[in-house]
Structure formats: C-alpha cells, structure tokens
Chain A
C-alpha cells in the first residue's frame, strides 16, 4: 500500500507550480451596513503557502469562508480551479469541497466521536470508501504524520489544545485536499505548541503538495510557513511580499505587525 504522498504523486498530473488554484478579484462582502471586505485581490499558486496577516475583525476569515462557499460574496470574482464559486450549484460545491481542507480555529472536532471516528467520517461519508482495511490504513498513516497515534481512541474532550489542532489537521488531510485553508491555526496555543503546529503545516505542505492560505496573527507561524505574506487592513490587502520584504517595510501598518520581530 502506497502512502498518501505517493498516491498523490501517481494520481496527479505533473505539478505545475505556476498554475493559479485560487483567484480573487475585487471581492466585496458586507454584513448589514458593515462592509467587511472592500476590495480583495489575491492569487494562490499551486504548492504555495500564503499567509494573511491582519487585525481581528478585518475580514480575514470571511475571505476563506467565501472560498469554500460557506459565505457568498456581494461583488467581485472568486475562482477556484478556474471555476466561479458563486455560480456553483450544491453538487458542484460538494465536489469542490472534496478538494479543499479547512482547519477551523477551534479545530471543530465532532465531540461525540473519538479521534478515529472523526477521521473516518470524511472517508466514509465524502469519499464513500467502504473497505475497512483501507480506512484503517489511512487513519493510521495520517495520525502518525501529525504525531497523534496514541490518541486514536480518545474523545476530543480528552485532548489538549495542541492535540485537537493536530487531530483537526489530520481530519482535513486524510481526504488529500489540494488546497488547505487554515483559520488561525496557532491561536490559543503556547509558543512551543504553536511552533510545532507551524512546523507541521510546512511539513504537511511539502509532503502532500498542497496550496495553503493561512490566516494568522502569529508572526512566528508566518515566518515558518509563508512563501508569501499578505497584510490586510480595513477590508483590503495593503501589502504583499515575502516575510523578509515586509519585515523591511516602512509602511506604518505593515511595520506594526513586524515591530517585535528581530
């Protein structure tokens, strides 16, 4: 039995690193009178990790919720794999979601299920895999990957914050998504666990060749995981570049994020 990374290599066409998997142009979204997204433009290339930095309540999470179709934009274009998300019907959206992994801030583990059942859920319900041996193999492999083998039969309530994030990450990776969306993956964790999760994000990206958008306030996470950093302020992206480039930025808002970085 090949591991997940090997399966992906043989299953997929040669990886075109210039291929744009997510393309956002002029995205606008309001809630009542509050305009949260004013003009968002972003391109995510295959195999790339983009970190979005921004203050709380600036609409960072709203952007990735639009990508996965949980929210619908008011204006603008949002294409994933070249298809406009807003124009998709339920069936197309379901198919798209099979290719996207979403790690929620709280990890969102199903709390009535053990870690094993949480991981089996997308395999049996989404990928419709019936072969129990294959299911067991996949669960075991992905749990080894995130370093959580010992917690396989534990309930989410018995896990620490870091373990929950790992389990949540394992649940999204088990379906081998092509795009990963991380909503504040290190929030609420101690610095050591945060670093472990950031390292894990990078490791998983290399192993599974995923393209990722990482929403975070954690500069250490951004430094470790980002190929490109985008800074968001007041519903717009105001700066874009590598971590080092933005670190040198003279812009007042951008500099405020990097002021504690040596």
Chain B
C-alpha cells in the first residue's frame, strides 16, 4: 500500500507565494499578448462598477451621517463645531472613504469573482475553455482584474461625494448650515495632497480585489465545497491586502507630503 506524501505547511505556504507570483506575471503577459477582450471587459465594468453603486452609495451615506453624529459632541465641547465640515472631509477623503469602500468592494466583488471562477473550475468550464484553444486567463482574469482596478477608484470617488452629502444632512439635524457654505468649507479644507494619494491607493485596492478574487477562484479545488472556500478566502485575503496597502500608502504619503 502506497504511503501518503505529507507536504509540510511551510512548504505549502512558499508554494502558494510562488503560485501567486507566477499568476501575477501571467496576468501581465496576457494583457499585452493576444487580443484584448473588450466586450467582456465592458461587461465586467458594468457588473463590478454599476452593480455596486447602490451598496457603495448607501454605505458611504451612512458613514458620512455617523461620522458627523459621532464627531459633533467632541468638537462642540471644544468649541470647534465650525470645524465639523473640515474634519469630516479630510478624514473621509484621506482615509475612511477609500478604506471602507474598498472593504465593501472586497466583500462584494472579490467574493463574487472567487465564487464565479471557483464554480467554473468545479464544473470544468475552465478546462473546457483551455482545451478548446481559448485562453481563460485572457478572457476571464485580465478583464476582471482590469475592470476592478478601474471601477473601484471610480466607486470610491462616488462614495466620497455621497459620504460628504450624508455629512451635510447629518449636520443639519442639529445645526443649520447652507449647502453652499458646507461645500465651500469642505473644498477649502482639502488639498491636493489629501486627494491624490487617496485616489492612487484606491487603484491598488481595486487591483488587489480583482487579483485576489481571480487567483482564489482559479486555484480552487475541484469540489462544490471549494466554491464557498474560494469566495470566503477571497474576501478575507483581499481585506487583509487592503489594510497592508493602506499602511504602506500612509507611510509613503507621510514621507512625501506631511513632513
């Protein structure tokens, strides 16, 4: 009777890293080789972007409202109620908006890509595509990763605006401030260095969400249970990556802009 070969966990971990690096290079190679799948890319932009607008909008609106309601008592106690628009806008645009929206997108987009590709693997659709001579990486992976990389920053911008509108409405529950005055204060308090680094990091968030979703789905095992595992693992890993990227981005931004 043949003995089962047990691969040590550390070796599996390193193999996993190697697989991810290889997948990353395959993705880049496939962007530039062969034809680009425009129709699938547009469809993915619609699926990832348009279909996430409601979720991102509601979440951002609530975040804007909640932040104002939470900040107000503290700032009022210090006699700084007039600082509310500035505090909200800087915290929301720099950090809270991009990260919260990226986490929401990780939950929605990474899990959906992971589950979709995972179920395609289980039902042999990926193999069918490969044996037909088509390129599943080009059709499925490149389009999804690029769509996520482009749509997450756009969703983030939209979420920022909706969050600020939510803040304005929350502010008007207890105080009275005109829409023009509120947004004049918001815009005056924001700087190029608040907006640009935050926007750039959302591009990386989008890439991480698409990449992790595709990798987990593409490398899931062949069993129905693996679909759930791929989706779950995609969300957890993408969320972790968002915080790692955010940490690195904040360090770089601090060095470059806030000396």
Chain A residues packing against B (C-beta within 8 Å): 32-35, 68-70, 94-95, 97-98, 100, 102, 104-106, 108-112, 121-122, 125-126, 171-172, 175
Q: Which of A34, A108, A175 contacts B127 (CB 8 A)?
A: A108
Contact with A along B88-127 (1 / 0, CB 8 A): 0000000000000000000000000000100110011101
Return A228 CB to nearest CB of chain B, in Å.
24
- The reply to whether B2 and A35 form a contact with Cβ atoms under 8 Å apart is yes
Report how far A177 CA is from B232 CA in the complex, Å.
39
A35 / chain B contacts, CB cutoff of 8 Å: 2
B132 / chain A contacts, CB cutoff of 8 Å: 97, 102, 121-122, 125-126, 171-172, 175
Residues 2-41 of B at the A interface (beta carbon under 8 Å): 2-5
A125 / chain B contacts, CB cutoff of 8 Å: 132-135, 139
Work out how many contacts link A and B, with CB atoms closer than 8 A. 62
Interface membership of B188, Cβ < 8 A = no
- The reply to whether B134 and A34 form a contact with Cβ atoms under 8 Å apart is no
Known: A111-B120, A125-B132. 8 other contacts (CB 8 A): A32-B4, A68-B131, A70-B127, A106-B124, A110-B125, A110-B128, A122-B134, A126-B133
- The reply to whether B131 and A111 form a contact with Cβ atoms under 8 Å apart is no
Return A83 CB to nearest CB of chain B, in Å.
15
Interface membership of B130, Cβ < 8 A = yes
- The reply to whether B2 and A34 form a contact with Cβ atoms under 8 Å apart is yes
- The reply to whether A104 and B134 form a contact with Cβ atoms under 8 Å apart is no
> CB-nearest residue of chain B relative to A122?
B132
B120 / chain A contacts, CB cutoff of 8 Å: 110-111
Contact with A along B129-156 (1 / 0, CB 8 A): 1111111000100000000000000000
Q: Which of B131, B134, B135 contacts A70 (CB 8 A)?
A: B131
Report how far A177 CA is from B49 CA in the complex, Å.
39
Return B135 CB to nearest CB of chain A, in Å.
8
A121 / chain B contacts, CB cutoff of 8 Å: 132, 134
A105 / chain B contacts, CB cutoff of 8 Å: 124
Return A10 CB to nearest CB of chain B, in Å.
23
> CB-nearest residue of chain B relative to A174?
B132
Report how far A172 CA is from B124 CA in the complex, Å.
14
Return B223 CB to nearest CB of chain A, in Å.
13
- The reply to whether B128 and A94 form a contact with Cβ atoms under 8 Å apart is no
Return B123 CB to nearest CB of chain A, in Å.
5
Report how far A95 CA is from B133 CA in the complex, Å.
7
Q: How many chain B residues touch A (Cβ–Cβ < 8 Å)?
A: 20
- The reply to whether B129 and A110 form a contact with Cβ atoms under 8 Å apart is yes
A70 / chain B contacts, CB cutoff of 8 Å: 127, 130-131
Known A-B contacts A33-B2, A125-B139; the reply to A104 vs B124 at CB < 8 A is yes
Known A-B contacts A33-B4, A33-B5, A125-B139; the reply to A106 vs B123 at CB < 8 A is yes
Known A-B contacts A68-B131, A97-B132; the reply to A108 vs B139 at CB < 8 A is no
Report how far A175 CA is from B132 CA in the complex, Å.
9
> CB-nearest residue of chain B relative to A90?
B135
Report how far A105 CA is from B5 CA in the complex, Å.
29
A-B contact pairs, 11 of them (CB 8 A): A35-B2, A68-B131, A70-B131, A97-B130, A97-B133, A105-B124, A106-B124, A110-B125, A110-B129, A112-B116, A171-B132
- The reply to whether B131 and A97 form a contact with Cβ atoms under 8 Å apart is yes
> CB-nearest residue of chain B relative to A94?
B133
A172 / chain B contacts, CB cutoff of 8 Å: 132
Report how far A111 CA is from B118 CA in the complex, Å.
13
A97 / chain B contacts, CB cutoff of 8 Å: 130-133
Return B220 CB to nearest CB of chain A, in Å.
16
A171 / chain B contacts, CB cutoff of 8 Å: 132
- The reply to whether B123 and A108 form a contact with Cβ atoms under 8 Å apart is yes
Known A-B contacts A110-B125, A111-B125; the reply to A32 vs B131 at CB < 8 A is no
A122 / chain B contacts, CB cutoff of 8 Å: 132-134
B125 / chain A contacts, CB cutoff of 8 Å: 108-111
Report how far A175 CA is from B130 CA in the complex, Å.
14
Return A197 CB to nearest CB of chain B, in Å.
17
- The reply to whether A104 and B127 form a contact with Cβ atoms under 8 Å apart is yes
A106 / chain B contacts, CB cutoff of 8 Å: 123-124
A111 / chain B contacts, CB cutoff of 8 Å: 119-120, 123, 125
Report how far A68 CA is from B133 CA in the complex, Å.
10
B133 / chain A contacts, CB cutoff of 8 Å: 94-95, 97-98, 122, 125-126, 175
> CB-nearest residue of chain A relative to B1?
A33
Report how far A68 CA is from B2 CA in the complex, Å.
28
- The reply to whether A32 and B123 form a contact with Cβ atoms under 8 Å apart is no
Interface centre among B119, B127, B128, B134 (most CB of A within 10 A): B128
Report how far A126 CA is from B35 CA in the complex, Å.
11
- The reply to whether B131 and A33 form a contact with Cβ atoms under 8 Å apart is no
Return B136 CB to nearest CB of chain A, in Å.
10
Contact with A along B32-73 (1 / 0, CB 8 A): 000000000000000000000000000000000000000000
